[in-house]
């Protein structure tokens, strides 16, 4: 089973019209490997601008969305609003949402479920903190996060799982290809046992955590690493190198 390589760029709370246009222009004029899916996630207020500016083969994602369609939820956006703007993807469960904004596994699972019901595809993020890895409970943490999602989601067709060890996000530290592959393989086997073999074979599991143009090629060669969710490097020209890291 050959899963299509997937590279997402999470711009986080960065950018303005001018800098985002430079990023878009670079992507619009760059050559990508044939078998790669590219999704970029600008800040929410620039979603429409980026969607209308970037070439159509590149999809656009929101960095967050809430678990209901509408209501008195100041500051939130709904998947229905994303759909109205022709936005096809959303990132949910990122460690920054979990740790800074205290989002629980259960809330994240509800948000994932609702987005999928509306027809928005999901990059679902999971991963352990440094103290959890050092305590040897990485698989336990990942399992807990996956169980919460599986209790709300039965069809994983439109889910990409992003394994992001929290200790490697924005720190310059990166899991070795072997460390990343070990957890990716664990996730794939978990899907076989707890969802289905078909889901395990088809679901893309991507890696995130200080991915750069320098380390992406080594990571991309691992059997169960199907791409990347890129943070800081997605704001730089080297993002194209990462996109083409399996070419």
CA pair distance 132, 100, nearest whole angstrom = 17
Q: Where are the domains of the chain?
A: 5-243
Instruction: Tell me the whole-structure pTM to 2 decimals.
Output: 0.96
The three-state secondary structure class of 97 is helix
Helices and strands, counts by H and E, the chain: 11, 8
Q: Is 101 exposed, middle or buried (0-12, 13-18, 19+ CB in 10 A)?
A: exposed
Identify the CATH number of the domain defined by range 5-243. 3.20.20.70
Query: Could you tell me the two tokens for 245?
Result: 């890291």
Using alpha carbons, select from 35, 208, 32, 15 the residue that is nearest to residue 125. 208
List the pLDDT tens digit at each of the 247 positions of the chain: 589 999 999 999 999 999 999 999 999 999 999 999 999 999 999 999 999 999 999 999 999 999 999 999 999 999 999 999 999 999 999 999 999 999 999 999 999 999 999 999 999 999 999 899 989 999 999 999 999 999 999 999 999 999 999 888 777 777 899 999 999 999 999 999 999 999 999 999 999 988 999 999 999 999 999 999 999 999 999 999 999 999 8
DSSP string, 144-175: HHHHHHHTT-S--TTEEEEE--GGGSSSS---
Is 164 designated active site?
yes
- 241 within 8 A of 219, measured Cβ to Cβ: no
> Which residues touch 178 (CB under 8 Å, ≥6 apart)?
222
pLDDT value for 173: 77
Q: Which of 96, 103, 164, 184 is catalytic?
A: 164
Q: Which of 37, 59, 94, 128 is catalytic?
A: 94
């Amino acid at each position: 089973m050959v899963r299509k390589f997937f590279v997402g760029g999470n711009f986080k709370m960065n950018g303005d019209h001018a800098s985002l246009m430079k990023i878009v222009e670079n992507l619009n004029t760059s050559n990508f490997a044939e078998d790669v899916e590219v999704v970029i996630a600008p800040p929410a207020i620039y979603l429409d601008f980026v969607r209308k500016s970037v070439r159509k083969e590149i999809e656009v994602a929101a960095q967050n969305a809430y678990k209901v369609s509408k209501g008195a939820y100041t500051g939130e956006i709904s998947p229905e609003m994303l759909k109205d703007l022709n936005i096809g993807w959303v990132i949910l469960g990122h460690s920054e949402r979990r740790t800074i904004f205290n989002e629980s596994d259960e809330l994240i699972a509800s948000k994932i479920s609702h987005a999928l019901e509306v027809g928005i595809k999901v990059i679902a993020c999971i991963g352990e903190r440094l103290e959890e890895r050092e305590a040897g409970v990485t698989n336990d943490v990942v399992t807990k996060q996956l169980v919460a999602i599986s209790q709300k989601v039965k069809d994983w067709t439109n889910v990409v799982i992003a394994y992001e060890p929290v200790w490697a996000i924005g720190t310059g530290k990166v899991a070795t290809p072997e460390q990343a592959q070990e957890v990716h393989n664990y996730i794939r086997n978990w899907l076989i046992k707890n969802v289905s073999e078909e889901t395990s074979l088809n679901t893309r599991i991507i890696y995130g955590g200080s991915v750069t143009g320098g380390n992406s090629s080594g990571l991309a060669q691992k059997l169960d690493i199907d791409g990347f969710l890129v943070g800081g490097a997605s704001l730089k020209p080297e993002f194209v190198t990462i996109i083409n890291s399996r070419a």
